[in-house]
Structure 1
Amino acid sequence: MCLGIPVQVLECGAHFARCVGRNGEVRIDLSLVGAQPVGSWLLCFLDAAREVIDAERAASINAALNALAAVQSGETDLSAFFADLDREPQLPEFLRTQTS
């Protein structure tokens, strides 16, 4: 299984960037996203950036990865990792108009 890992750009060259993420510093291939400014967040698979993301999305992906690690270590209460699940589910706007 291949998981996307968010990393933040520390230094960027034409084809590779030095980034930091949950596993420390890594060298990331930028072939699919191009050069990015320092501070940008990238979603990476196998040390290659596939998507430029914002800090909020990086945080939510890291929370999900933390939950996965917690499950692997035997934890069963995952509410701390998914704060948005402690709410009543809402229909998307386009479906709300169809059910009224």
Structure 2
Amino acid sequence: MCLGVPMRVIDGDDMSALCEGAGRSERISMLLIGAQPPGAHVLVHLGTAMRVLEEEEAALIAAALKGLDAALAGHSFEAHFADLIDREPQLPAHLAPSDE
């Protein structure tokens, strides 16, 4: 399984940026999305920023990853998925069954 991790840009340029997230900081390739201002949130996969995230989406992804970690450790994880409590999860449009 491949996962993208949300990180926040600290400083960088068109080529790379120092980013922090998931309890660590590292230099990330910015070649796919270009330079981003300090404070911008990016989705990182295998050391490369794949896309820019809104702050709320970055927080939801980070919470879900913490929830997965808690579940794998045998701890309570439901609080990490607060956006799913009391609602039925919806598939993205491209995965939803067609009405044909």
Q: Same fold (TM over 0.5)?
A: yes
Q: Which has the larger radius of gyration?
A: 1
SS of residue matched to 1:81: helix
TM-score (norm 1): 0.82
* Superimposed CA distance per residue, residues 16-68 of structure 1 (whole angstroms, 9 cap, x where no aligned partner): 00010013111100111001111100000011000100110010000100011
Are the equivalent residues in 2 in contact too, given 1:79–1:85 (CA < 8 A)?
no
Aligned partner of 2:67: which letter?
A
Paired AA for residue 82 in structure 2 = A
One-letter code of the match for 2:77?
L
Write the distance in 2 (CA, Å) between the matches of 1:32 and 1:45.
Answer: 12
- Note if 1:80 corresponds to 2:79: yes
Q: Taking structure 2 as the reference length, what is the TM-score of the superposition?
A: 0.82
Aligned equivalents of 1:4, 1:90: Cα separation in 2:
20
Q: Cα–Cα, structure 1 residues 12 and 90, in superposed 2: closer, same or farther, change >3 Å?
A: closer
Aligned to 1:48: 48
> Which letter does structure 1 place at the counterpart of 2:84?
L
Matches within 5 A, 1:47-66: 47-66=47-66
What amino acid sits opposite 1:62 in the alignment? A
* Unpaired runs of at least 5, structure 1: 92-100
- Structure 1 segments (4+ residues) deviating >6 Å: none
**Identity of paired residues, percent?**
40
Post-superposition Cα deviations, 1:42-95, rounded to whole Å, max 9, x if no partner, equal 0000110001001100100001000110011112x332011122224498xxxx
Shift of 1:2: 1.9
